[in-house]
Amino acid sequence: MKKILTLIFILTSFASFTFAADAELDIIKKSNNLPKIEIGLAPNAMKKELTSKVRDMISKDLQVSGHFEVVDTSLIVAYNSIPNLLALSNKGTDLFLNIDSQVTGFGAYSVMVKLFDINSKQLVFNRSFTTSKEERYPFLAHRIAISINKHLKAPSIDWMDKFVIFSQYKDAKKADIIIADYTLTFQQTVIKGGLNIFPKWADKKQESFYYTTYDTGIPTLIKRNIYTRKKETIMKSEGMLVASDVNDDGTKVLITASPEFQPDIYLYDTKRKSKVRLTNYKGIDVGAHFVENDSKIVFVSDRLQHPNIFAKKIGNRGVERLVFHGNNNSSATTHKDFVVYTSRDRDNEFGTYTFNLYLMSTKSDFLKRLTSNGTNQFPKFSKDGESIIFLKTLNNKSSIGIIRLNYSKSFLFPLKSGKIQSLDW
């Protein structure tokens, strides 16, 4: 138990420093005291193949959290029995999670879990989790991992239970919009047929999203509810039309539109149904995101004859250059005062290039490279700002990447098929 309490103190202490104005984000949680956890599968579990997948997903979630060292095990313990605590302790194991499952009388699938603290020789967590749709088992596993993490008072990993939304090319001029879990194991198509691109969540609850469709002949920005299927046309524009960012309460949307041929940034008020033009440049201004409590925007512009990252205070005319390296910085994402952007770098002395992700602060000189190889694009902060999702292409293979900023850890989840056009979470 002492090791668990030490972990909790270290993690919560560092969490309070992570995003201070001038924080050095390479203050990383590198504790050598991460609790070792073994995850067992009870011998009488129903739907054993499915439950084994749940166990594997919980294991991956706990690894991705950065709060646990998951140890492979072949230990089999009856669910209503107590594991051999002495043998586990002698191996250096701190936690043992036993998993069982059953099918209820109504056909629902339930997973029961018991967590034993080996050091204190106690059962510390005992709960069941149920879903009526077996194909949603990844979210069932995510909820179990989140609950265990929360019970041990480690920093939140609630983002694991959120949807990722992305546009996936199916054929020429055809792209569907799909919602998934962060590992892409669960996927459900919500818009099918036609060319539908640039999905962006419209609210924290992930009930509605914005997307651009080309089905009407002119690019049209639509807001759609995933449950009621209600659709609302926001605006139409020739050329480029994208909802690039939404503020925390969903009342303001940054939109790239080109009604006068060249794309500029507009601020759309969802309550008044009105828009204000924020940039007026005879070139390309795209992909804006809010920073510094919605008082400023960060966007991509070709003002230097190549894509670079700029900032502009809303209501002011002046524009500030943010990035001073690379000659192709083509996208950015923000959280509070921090920016992650893509930059084309020379990969080797023979002149090949790679696109890497960099983390910077708008209020200091802090800069840190987050990736080192392949093509890394479409970065998006999680809502808590502690993780980045992105698309990685390496050796002609594409994967969804997750970077855990405070832990200097990254994880890849390969795409089974198709090509992602853009994504959000």
Give per-10-residue mean pLDDT for the chain (425 aa). Answer: 45 38 31 86 96 98 96 95 96 97 92 97 97 96 98 95 94 92 96 95 96 91 96 94 96 94 94 96 94 95 94 94 89 95 74 85 91 91 93 87 93 87 93
Closest by CA position to 39, among listed 81, 120, 94, 108? 94
- The domain locations on the chain are 2-158, 164-424
Cα–Cα distance between 324 and 96 in angstroms, integer? Answer: 50
| CATH number for the domain whose boundaries are 164-424 | 2.120.10.30
Q: Count CA atoms closer than 13 A to 339's CA, side-chain side.
A: 33
Which of the four CATH numbers 3.30.420.40, 2.60.210.10, 3.40.50.620, 3.40.50.10070 does domain 2-158 have?
3.40.50.10070
The per-residue pLDDT for 372 is 87
Cα–Cα distance between 363 and 23 in angstroms, integer? Answer: 10
Beta carbons within 8 Å of 385's beta carbon, 6+ residues apart: 18, 19, 335, 336, 338, 405
Letter string b/e over residues 233-266, b meaning 16 or more CB atoms within 10 A of that residue's CB: ebbebeebbbbbbbeeebebbbbbbbeeebbbbb
CA terminus-to-terminus distance, the chain: 35
Distances (CA, A) of 217 to 220, 234, 239: 9, 16, 11
Q: Contact at 8 Å (CB) between 82 and 62?
A: no
The per-residue pLDDT for 259 is 86
Cα–Cα distance between 313 and 423 in angstroms, integer? Answer: 26
Beta carbons within 8 Å of 199's beta carbon, 6+ residues apart: 165, 166, 167, 177, 209, 210, 211, 422, 423, 424
The per-residue pLDDT for 418 is 79
pTM score, two decimals?
Answer: 0.88
Question: Which residue shows structure tokens 């202490």?
Answer: 13
Instruction: Provide the 3-class DSSP secondary structure of residue 351.
Output: coil
List beta partners, residue 36.
69
Q: Contact at 8 Å (CB) between 399 and 182?
A: no
